[in-house]
């Protein structure tokens, strides 16, 4: 293999959990080379000093972000707080560099709505025509042509994959959708935060954001876009006392009597060729550990007691399919690579 053919990768803001996950997964990718990783606060620190699991694997140091240097990359991942990618993306895409944003800057097309939920001014309105929502299972053909990928939120990934087949076919009432989501604490990031201390979150469970969570408008917009309807979604997230993993239990009311078998078949057909969606056999009970450290989404579909309600349970690793893994999957699509490269990790069980 010729080194000069490798995709040159830059990572902006790599000190958080999505940063280390990009590095962990890319370590096994045969066709990329991570050439720079930036952090203002950690300038000069070796990546392996911050993340000792990478000792002996990466010889990189964090550097101060420099737009000129980033232009030498083929693709730049933003693993930054909200607002950073929109300020740097234009210079990069004008130079032909692909941008994949793991934050929320480009996830919602309705910028007024975005500004309401994220509490800041959106400065990248002119970039939005170059943006594609990076959920490959529903936007793959457009991703191939995109300049900027808005990598989806973790809850949206698990919930959209779970409910869209039913919504697209009109089999469920658009006003009936309830998504009860549960996430491990790594979803809250690596910032110092009393509520996320081990002594606070361990051995406890709670709902949060009941009055509204930023992933709700993101999901509703994509549901409406994919289905051409207007969906009413109730979404309640919860915090699980564990590090990694996300489970979403989705409830929807059938518009017509449809057999469990027909719905199972619909899901199996929908995702038959998808490398990272696993529709488990009827009666299965997906557990988050079945996807821990891997890019898989596994799901099962139920029609309890043959009633009018469908229940879908969908699990992902919030840091992989819910963040860094999906970003790499999008990169692979952007560069015409096998979508599975760098994403062959088997889930760690037990």
Of residues 22-51, those binding its own copies (CB under 8 A): 24, 27-28, 51
Residue placing its CB nearer to its own copies in the complex, 179 or 334: 179
350 binds its own copies (CB under 8 A): yes
CB of 133 to its own copies, least distance (A): 23
Stretch that binds its own copies, among 95-103, 111-119, 145-153, 303-311 (CB under 8 A): 303-311
Q: Which two tokens stand for residue 280?
A: 């488990």
Could you confirm whether 297 is annotated as catalytic? no
Provide the mask over 155-184, with x wherever binding to its own copies is found by CB under 8 A and - wherever it is not.
-----------------------x-x-x-x
Residue placing its CB nearer to its own copies in the complex, 83 or 308: 308
CB of 303 to its own copies, least distance (A): 9
Torsion angles phi and psi, residue 10, rounded to 5: -115, 145
Beta-strand relationship, 246-253 and 177-183: antiparallel
Query: Which of the following is catalytic: 47, 75, 102, 154?
Result: 154
Provide the mask over 53-72, with x wherever binding to its own copies is found by CB under 8 A and - wherever it is not.
xxxxx---------------
Q: Which two tokens stand for residue 259?
A: 């057999």
Applying CB under 8 A, among 67, 91, 284, 335 the residue interacting with its own copies is: 284
> How many Å apart are CA 114 and CA 110, to the nearest integer?
6
CB of 207 to its own copies, least distance (A): 4
Residue placing its CB nearer to its own copies in the complex, 38 or 176: 176
Angle value at C-alpha 323, between 319 and 327, nearest 5 degrees: 135
Q: Which two tokens stand for residue 45?
A: 């620190």
243 binds its own copies (CB under 8 A): yes
CB of 211 to its own copies, least distance (A): 5
DSSP code of residue 65? -
CB of 283 to its own copies, least distance (A): 8
Applying CB under 8 A, among 43, 141, 205, 225 the residue interacting with its own copies is: 205
- The answer to whether 285 touches 313, Cβ cutoff 8 Å, is yes
- The answer to whether 315 touches 298, Cβ cutoff 8 Å, is yes
- The answer to whether 207 touches 237, Cβ cutoff 8 Å, is yes
Best CA proximity match to 163, nearest among 108, 212, 222, 208: 222
- Secondary structure in 3-state letters for 104-120: CCCCCCCHHHHHHHHCC
- The answer to whether 300 touches 285, Cβ cutoff 8 Å, is yes
Applying CB under 8 A, among 153, 245, 325, 342 the residue interacting with its own copies is: 245
Best CA proximity match to 221, nearest among 96, 71, 65, 107: 107
The residues annotated as belonging to the active site are: 154
């Amino acid at each position: 293999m010729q080194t000069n053919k490798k995709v040159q990768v830059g990572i902006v803001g790599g000190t958080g959990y999505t940063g280390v996950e990009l590095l962990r997964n890319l370590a096994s990718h045969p066709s990329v080379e991570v050439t720079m990783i930036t952090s203002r606060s950690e300038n000069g620190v070796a990546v392996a000093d911050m993340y000792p699991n990478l000792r002996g694997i990466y010889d990189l140091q964090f550097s101060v972000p420099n737009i000129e240097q980033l232009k030498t990359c083929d693709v730049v991942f933003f693993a930054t707080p909200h607002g950073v990618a929109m300020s740097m993306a234009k210079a990069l895409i004008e130079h032909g560099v692909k941008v994949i944003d793991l934050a929320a800057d480009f996830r919602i097309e309705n910028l007024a709505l975005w500004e309401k939920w994220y509490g800041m001014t959106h400065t990248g309105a002119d970039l939005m025509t170059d943006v594609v929502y990076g959920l490959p299972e529903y936007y793959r053909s457009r991703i191939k042509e995109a300049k900027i990928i808005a990598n989806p939120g973790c809850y949206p990934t698990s919930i959209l994959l779970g409910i869209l087949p039913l919504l697209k076919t009109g089999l469920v009432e658009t006003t009936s959708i309830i998504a009860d989501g549960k996430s491990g604490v790594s979803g809250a990031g690596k910032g110092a935060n009393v509520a996320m201390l081990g002594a606070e979150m361990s051995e406890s469970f709670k709902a949060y954001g009941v009055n509204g969570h930023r992933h709700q408008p993101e999901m509703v917009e994509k549901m409406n876009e994919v289905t051409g309807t207007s969906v009413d979604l109730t979404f309640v997230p919860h915090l699980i006392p564990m590090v990694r993993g996300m489970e979403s239990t989705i409830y929807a009311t059938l518009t017509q009597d449809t057999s469990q078998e027909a719905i199972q078949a619909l899901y199996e057909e929908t995702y038959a060729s998808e490398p990272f969606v696993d529709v488990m056999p009827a009666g299965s009970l997906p557990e988050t550990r079945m996807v821990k450290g891997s890019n898989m989404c596994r799901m099962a579909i139920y029609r309890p007691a043959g009633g009018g309600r469908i229940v879908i349970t969908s699990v992902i690793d919030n840091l992989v399919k819910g963040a860094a893994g999906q970003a790499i999957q999008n990169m692979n699509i952007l560069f015409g690579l096998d979508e599975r490269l760098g994403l062959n990790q088997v889930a760690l069980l037990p």
